[in-house]
Amino acid sequence: MRILFAGSPDIAAVLLNYLLKLQDASFKIVGVLTNPPAPQGRKSTLVPTPVEQVAREYNSSLSDVSKTVQIFTPDKLDASVREKISQLKCDLLVCFAYGKIFGPKFMALFPFGGINIHPSLLPKFRGCAPIPAAILAMEKETGITIQRLAQEMDCGDILAQKIIPLDGKETSESLLNYCATECCGMIHDILNKIADGKETSTPQKGKASYCSMLKKEDGQINWSKSAKEIDAQIRAFFPWPGAFTKCGENILHIHSAKVYDEDIDALKEVLETAQNGQIIKNDKKFGILVKTGNGVLKLENLQWQTKKAMPWKDFINGNQNLCNKVFE
C-alpha cells in the first residue's frame, strides 16, 4: 500500500518519523505533502516545516536513492500538483495537521481514499484548534479520533477513537505532544486493517461543536473572568498565541500560573478593596498574586515583552515595585 503523507507541524513530524521507521512490505511512504518553507527570525530566513525536515533527514540516510520519499511543498493543490502526485500511484492519503482542504479531484488520486488524525473526540471540537478549545472549556476529557476524510470539515466516519482524561494541568503544548505519540500505535493498527480489507467505521454521533483559528489578540487576559478561566486560557494558549496583559505601557507575557487557594483568609481584607487585575501581593512568601473576577491567580512564569522568561521568584527580584499595580 503506497501512502502519501500530508502534514506540517511538529506533531505531524512525530507521526511521519514513526511511519518511516515502521514501513515494511505492507505499506510504504512514497511521498510527503507539506506547507512551503516559512520566513522566521529577524532576517526572515525561509525554514522548512518540521515534516519536510523529517522527510529530508530520512532521504539523506538512504544509500539507495530509488527509495527516497518525494517531497511536495505547493502553495495550492492545483492541477500541476495533482499531476506530479498521480505519478507516484498512491493508494492512500494519511493526513495530520496539513491545514488545507482536499478537493474531490485531489482525493480521486487515492483508490483507498484518505484518513485523518484529529485530536478531539469527534464530533466535538471540529476545526483547526481542538486542543486549545478543550482546555479553554475545562473539559474533563478529550481524545484522538482517526476518521475517514470527507468533503465537509472533520465530519468523516470514525475508524478509531481513544479517550484522554484531563487533570487541569495540561498545556496545549504538552497535550499535543502526548496526542502525537499516542496516535502512532492507533494509525498503525488502522493501516493494517485497511491493507487487509478489515476496516470498520461508524458515522459520527451526537451534536457537533466547532473551534476557530486562533488569533494573537485571543491571548489578552480579561481580569474580570475567574481565576480558573484565566488559568485555562494561559494553558490553552501556550506556547501560541500566548497569554498576555498590559501593565501601563508594557506588555507582560504569562506562560504559566495557577489558582491560588492557600492563604485566602490572610488576603480577605485586601481583596475587599482591590480591583480585578490588581497585584495584591508581590513577595517571596505569597508570590505574585492577582485578583480576578472570582478568586486569586498566582503568576508562576513571566516575561516582559523585550526580556527573557523567568520563574516568579527571580521575577520578583527585578520587579519589587509591582504591588498594587493594576493590569488592564
From CA 216, how far away is CA 228, in angstroms rounded? 21
Residues 76 and 174 in one domain: yes
pLDDT tens digits, residue range 118-168?
A: 999 999 999 999 999 999 999 999 999 999 999 899 999 999 999 999 999
**Which pLDDT belongs to residue 190?**
95
Q: What is the pLDDT of residue 15?
A: 97
What does the pLDDT read at residue 90?
A: 97
Q: Which of 22-36, 49-63, 163-177 has the lowest mean pLDDT?
A: 22-36
CA distance 241 to 216: 5
* Residues 85 and 186 both lie in one domain: yes
Assigned domain for 206 exists: yes
Residue with C-alpha cell 475587599? Answer: 272
DSSP labels for 195-237?
HTT----B---S---EE----GGGGB--TTSBHHHHHHHHHHT
- Residue 306's pLDDT is 84
Residue 56 is part of a domain; what is its CATH number? 3.40.50.170
**Is a pLDDT exceeding 80 seen at residue 25?**
no
* Domain shared by 274 and 145, yes or no: no
Which of the listed residues 159, 185, 211 is the one where a domain comes to its end?
211
Last residue of a domain, one of 181, 211, 241: 211
Same domain flag for 129 and 151 = yes
- Does 250 share its domain with 314? yes
Over range 287-303, report the average pLDDT.
96
Q: Are residues 205 and 222 in the same domain?
A: no
What pLDDT is recorded for position 326? 94
Q: Rounded to whole angstroms, how far apart are CA atoms 190 and 132?
A: 26
pLDDT confidence bin for 290, thresholds 50/70/90: very high
| Same structural domain, 242 and 136 | no
Q: What angle do CA 36, 38, 41 make, to 5 degrees?
A: 165
Residues 189 and 58: their CA atoms lie apart, in Å, by: 23
Q: Is 325 part of a structural domain of the chain?
A: no
* 68 within domain boundaries: yes
For residue range 253-285, list pLDDT tens digits in order: 999 999 998 888 889 899 999 999 999 999 988
d(C-alpha 175, C-alpha 198), whole Å: 31
Q: How many domains are there within the chain?
A: 2
- Residue 161's pLDDT is what? 97
Residue 187 has pLDDT above 90, yes or no: yes
In CATH, what number is assigned to the domain containing residue 298?
3.10.25.10
Q: What is the DSSP string of 100-167?
A: SPPPHHHHTT-TT-EEEEESS-TTTTEES-HHHHHHHTT-SEEEEEEEE--SSTT-SPEEEEEEEE--
Do 290 and 281 contact (CB within 8 A), yes or no?
no
Cell 487541569 appears where?
168
- The pLDDT, as a whole number, for residue 206 is 94
Question: Which of residues 285 and 110 earns the better pLDDT score?
Answer: 110
Among the candidates 164, 181, 211, a domain finishes at: 211
Q: How far apart are CA 134 and CA 146, in angstroms?
A: 18
Q: Coil, helix or strand for 87?
A: coil
Residues 305, 177 within the same domain: no
- In the chain, pLDDT over 90 holds for what percent of residues? 84
Mean pLDDT, the chain, rounded, equals 95
Domain match, 278 and 306 both = yes
At CA 324, angle to CA 320 and CA 327, rounded to 5?
Answer: 100
Quick: pLDDT tens for 70-100. Answer: 999 999 999 999 999 999 999 999 999 998 8
The domain of 82 spans 2-211
Residue at 47 is within a domain: yes
> What are the residues facing 288 on neighbouring strands?
282, 299
Check pLDDT > 90 for residue 202: yes
Mean pLDDT of 235-246: 97
pLDDT for the residue 43: 84
Is 230 domain-assigned? Answer: yes
The pLDDT, as a whole number, for residue 321 is 87
In a domain, 168, yes or no: yes
Q: Are residues 88 and 143 in the same domain?
A: yes
Confidence of residue 114 (pLDDT cuts 50, 70, 90): very high
The amino acid that residue 88 corresponds to is L
Give the list of residues 6+ apart from residue 217 with CB closer than 8 angstroms, or none: 241
If asked whether residues 153 and 7 sit together in one domain, one would say: yes
